[in-house]
Structure 1
Amino acid sequence: MIDFARVQKELQECSRDIESSGIKVSPKSDSLARLTGTIPGPIGTPYEGGTFQIDITLPVMGKFEWELKDGYPFEPPKMQFATKVWHPNISSQSGAICLDILKDQWSPALTLKTALLSVQALLSAPEPDDPQDAVVAQQYLRDYQTFVGTARYWTETFAKPSSLGVEEKVSKLVEMGFPEVLVRSTLESAGGDENLALEKLCSG
């Protein structure tokens, strides 16, 4: 069984220090088995300024005696990114996260908040040698600058409330006479920075 009393307590603790941590956990519906976690992108990374949503499903005890599962907190929560993110340890397709504490390193002493803090730390310190997304990991290892530009562009596009901004920037630059395909790729390589993209387009 999921220990719902504990989950309630964890949610209260999260909401108490949301100001300092920026980490939020809220129920998706009446059931506390499905939650949404929110983490801010770490400062000094290509994810800075973004707000990332993570789907959390708490494991329920196995229905049969031979399924020796005790449910949360004895089993790790299942977490995956609902916000698209470009990172070696997170699938750019499904949002699946490759992180040891969400698998075999989980301990009932950990909480949803510590798990989300670990996910946030993973954004700061990718481990490309143990990738969830091989394509991103290859780019990270071979062409770090392009990786940073792409990660920043994805943050601008998917993790910022003003993601309309990207479309506005595209249409502004297209109005200046640049082809849309070129505008989009240049904006992406400039990490969504309109002025830098314009410089590149003018010098290109």
Structure 2
Amino acid sequence: MAGLYQGGVWRVRVELPDAYPYKSPSIGFVNKIYHPNVDEMSGSVCLDVINQTWSPMFDLVNVFEVFLPQLLLYPNPSDPLNGEAAALMMRDRPAYEEKVKEYCQKYAKPEDIGASPEDKLSDEELSEDEYDSSDEQVVGKPDP
């Protein structure tokens, strides 16, 4: 994906509605991305933006090869889910581009994709402890 987001790697969540392919899938970024049409907290992509581009002839390959690259290349600040990003993009393009790159470096490094999408330290340590204890119980049970 060219442009500002080049080099970033995101996990994407795709949910298909019952009426798919007549209704567009709902798409969300799992790790954070700074983009006018993506909700920063939930990662959801603005459905209006998808619906403008969506056609029943599309399949999921098109989502990844056509739709998402276009979304990243051509943000639509007039229909924002991230108002701050949209305002910054229209008001101060260089500052906006700087922030996009900062998010790419912070949240979208290829090596991060193997890790959990939560903020690294606190959450991961908690969940690792939980996993360890439950693993031991399972492993520790002698065969009957």
Partner of 2:102: 153
Gapped regions of structure 2 (runs ≥ 5): 113-144
**1:75, distance to aligned residue in structure 2 (A):** 2.2
Partner of 1:72: 20
Partner of 1:112: 60
Partner of 2:8: 50
- SS at the partner of 1:55? strand
Q: 2:53 matched to 1:98? A: no
Query: Which of the pair has the greater relative contact order for Cα pairs under 8 Å at 6+ separation?
Result: 2
Provide Cα deviations, 1:78-108, integer angstroms capped at 9, x if missing partner.
1111121001111111112125463365332
Structure 1 segment 9-48 matched on structure 2, within 5 A:
42-43=1-2, 45-48=3-6
Provide Cα deviations, 1:152-178, integer angstroms capped at 9, x if missing partner.
010011111245xxxxxxxxxxxxxxx
- Stretch moving more, 102-111 or 145-154: 102-111
**Bigger fraction of residues in strand:** 1
Give the counterpart of 2:75 among 126, 130, 133. Answer: 126
Q: Distance in 1 between matches of 2:69 and 2:10?
A: 9
Structure showing greater radius of gyration is 1
Provide Cα deviations, 1:16-49, integer angstroms capped at 9, x if missing partner.
xxxxxxxxxxxxxxxxxxxxxxxxxx22x22110
Aligned residue pair count: 111
Q: Distance in 2 between matches of 1:47 and 1:102?
A: 19
Instruction: Determine what percentage of the aligned residue pairs are the same residue.
Output: 31
Cα RMSD for the two superposed structures: 1.9
Gap change, CA 1:106 and 1:162, over 3 Å in 2? closer
| Contact 2:16 2:26 survives alignment (8 Å) | yes
- SS at the partner of 1:103? helix
**Bigger fraction of residues in helix:** 2
**1:54, distance to aligned residue in structure 2 (A):** 1.1
Gap change, CA 1:136 and 1:156, over 3 Å in 2? same
| Contact 1:99 1:119 survives alignment (8 Å) | no
Gap change, CA 1:156 and 1:77, over 3 Å in 2? same
Q: Distance in 1 between matches of 2:105 and 2:15?
A: 27
**1:72, distance to aligned residue in structure 2 (A):** 2.1
Q: Distance in 2 between matches of 1:122 and 1:104?
A: 11
Q: Distance in 1 between matches of 2:22 and 2:35?
A: 28
Q: TM-score, normalised by structure 2?
A: 0.68
Q: Distance in 2 between matches of 1:102 and 1:129?
A: 14
